[in-house]
Structure 1
């Protein structure tokens, strides 16, 4: 988005036009642009408001109803922290006794929204002028937040009385033609580079850095807590927390968040933190139950700790599936009383049958049981679920869930039933 289009969007006419659009529907997008053009709306403004409507619809997953009062860029929304996670970031600073935070790479302002919303004084910076202007708009209701078009690394943290630093370095880069963006996996290629950000802890010890969840364990700083975060089963980020922002000390941890809406329409968020040194798990044969640890637990390298908690063993030394002979005592994903309830660290299944993997054998097994709809889970196998589904050619009326994995080094099929299923 360029400055001219942003100026038009933020004009009273542009904002009224955007606010008056119906809920976004991809099938009607071109028709909406045509209708706006027929009413005399400039082509660039018509395209911009429809684009914002599309981005707002996508943003509701991260921001809920707040999305309706915000502006976005595609890349900014892609990297923006979910509001439920940003609120937990803010809590770290508050619990550390910090009152002023510098958000060095604020993007569209997602984390700064949470910081300012909890009463923290925020100095938010971004190198891109339009992105900084969008952050300024998104933070317009918070006098605690100051947004600058500037290089955050150039801030004089002591002179600004900054007590805590936060950064979410850019992890995407566009190709030379300005088209599609691609993800950056090398932390040294982040913008700004990871080394430059965590060096700031020499000036301000309380430093937090959001990084991609695919960051390798090798090379992680010894004095940081590295925490992987999942929301409803999706691993959304990893964070490096230094100094007073890591009150439990350095090491690896996993934060599991599960949201649900109760019968009264109220949304709740359950959480559970798994931390500490991993333990060497036992390995053994398939029991009556199978558990798949949450992705944050797996990324944090804490599968052994999860197996110990569940009282189980791995099905294979290299596979993150845990099996038990008795049902583990996991909290429900939708408790009747959310107060004090924790999020489950794994998803459980009852094992109904096992067999060596073979297309002909599996097809016969499923047809005999009149299976027509199948859920395929996999780990440690090259089988492509969509290709396998086509090869099975199922026409029955029943449903089934199968797990394709290695058991003691051999390819196996586990027929399972999700715990809690009727």
Structure 2
């Protein structure tokens, strides 16, 4: 979006137009654009307003009702922290006694919004002028939040009175491709890490695919999932990691406006927890993605009272159903009842499904080169029944588990 379009949106007429638009509907967008132009609305303003309406609709999955009063860039929506997670970030700084946070890569201001919302003073910066302008709009209700179009790494943190630093480096190229090498982040991860010598309370949001090798030993690295979707990993230094260094997984589950959580940690003697490995039991559990990314499958198996099917594969099996999570706690795994187990054989599996009239298949896999799409085409299922197949290794050999989700 060019600066002139942003200026038009921020005019009284532009803002009124944007906030008067109906909920975004892709099928109606062209017709609505035509009506706006026929009514004499400037074509550039109409296009900018419709773009913002579309981005607001997309951002609602992360920011809820707050999105309806905000401005966005496409990259800003992609990288914005979900509100439920941003609130947890803010609480870390508050609990650490931080009073002023420098958000060095504020984007459209989702995290800065959460920081200001809990009463922290915020200095937010972004190197992109339009993005900084939008963050200014989005933080307009918080006089304690200042936004600057600037390079956050160039700030004199001591002179600014900053006692907490947060950064969310860009992890996509301009073409939209994901960047997995921390040295290719913008700004590079090493440049942000170096700030901990100036401000010990340093937090960095990184991609959940970041490898364990090379993670700073003095930080807590926490992987976070929301409703089964692994959304981020965070590096927390100094007072922002009150339980000390190590790896942790935070599982969040939202329902009806309420959020439950469960945290698993690996530190000290528990970091090398070795799980049992054994035969398929009556139940199968798939650990949450944050648990898997954090390397805490053994910890999940211990909590579930189960064992692994294979030491290198993230499936847990039990002979009895695991106890449900305590009130207020999110489940660390998704459970299934095991109906059948058989060595993998395409012809046998095809016969098995045909005899049971299975036409709708859910196929899950770990530890096998077979792709669900290819297998589905080879099986050509027909019928009204449905089934869930799990392709994995058992005792070193490829097996198929027929399961049904636990309700």
Q: Same fold (TM over 0.5)?
A: yes
Match of 1:286 in 2: 280
Paired position in structure 2 for 1:335? none
Matched, 1:203 2:198: yes
Q: Name the CA distance, whole Å, in 2 between partners of 1:400 and 1:173.
A: 40
- 1:3-402 equivalences under 5 Å are 3-174=3-174, 180-261=175-256, 267-276=257-266, 277-331=271-325, 341-402=328-389
CA distance in 2 between counterparts of 1:226 and 1:159 reads 29
Does the CA-based 8 Å contact 1:278-1:302 persist in structure 2?
A: no
Displacement of 1:381 after TM fit? 2.0
Shift of 1:97: 1.0
What SS does the corresponding residue of 2:215 show, helix, strand or coil?
coil
How many Å separate the matches in 1 of 2:198 and 2:318?
A: 49
Cα deviation per residue 1:332-365 (whole Å; 9 max; x = unaligned)? 8xxxxxxx51001011111010112223222221
Contact 1:169 1:190 in 2 (8 A): yes
250-259 or 390-399, which moves further after superposition?
390-399
Coordinate RMSD, CA, aligned? 1.2
Q: Is the 8 A contact 1:109 1:135 kept in 2?
A: yes
- Partners of 2:325 and 2:261 lie apart in 1 by 11
What is the CA–CA distance in structure 1 between the aligned matches of 2:250 and 2:63, rounded to whole Å?
A: 19
In structure 2, C-alpha distance between the alignment counterparts of 1:5 and 1:384, rounded to whole Å = 46
1:33 Cα offset (Å): 1.7
Farther off after superposition, 149-158 or 249-258: 149-158
- Point out the more displaced range, 411-420 or 23-32: 23-32
Q: What TM-score, normalized by structure 2, do the two folds share?
A: 0.96
Give 1:256 deviation, angstroms. 0.3
Aligned partner of residue 260 in structure 2, secondary structure: strand
Would the aligned equivalents of 1:104 and 1:125 in 2 still touch at CA under 8 Å? yes
C-alpha distance in 1 between matches for 2:10 and 2:40:
18
C-alpha distance in structure 2 between counterparts of 1:48 and 1:409, whole Å: 57
Gaps of 5+ in 2: none
What's the offset of the Cα at 1:278? 4.2
Give the CA deviation at 1:196: 0.8
**Contact kept? 1:291, 1:346, Cα under 8 Å:** yes
CA contact under 8 A between 1:5 and 1:44: conserved in structure 2? yes
Query: How far apart in 2 are the matches of 1:302 and 1:161?
Result: 38
Query: What's the CA shift for 1:71?
Result: 0.7
TM-score, with structure 1 as normaliser: 0.93
CA–CA separation in structure 1 for the residues paired with 2:103 and 2:357: 57
Distance 1:39 1:103 in 2: 42
CA positional deviation for 1:385: 2.0
Q: Which range moves more in the overlay, 187-196 or 18-27?
A: 18-27
> Counterparts of 1:57 and 1:224 in 2: how far apart (Å)?
36
Corresponding position of 1:337: none
How far the C-alpha of 1:162 sits from its partner, in A, is 0.8
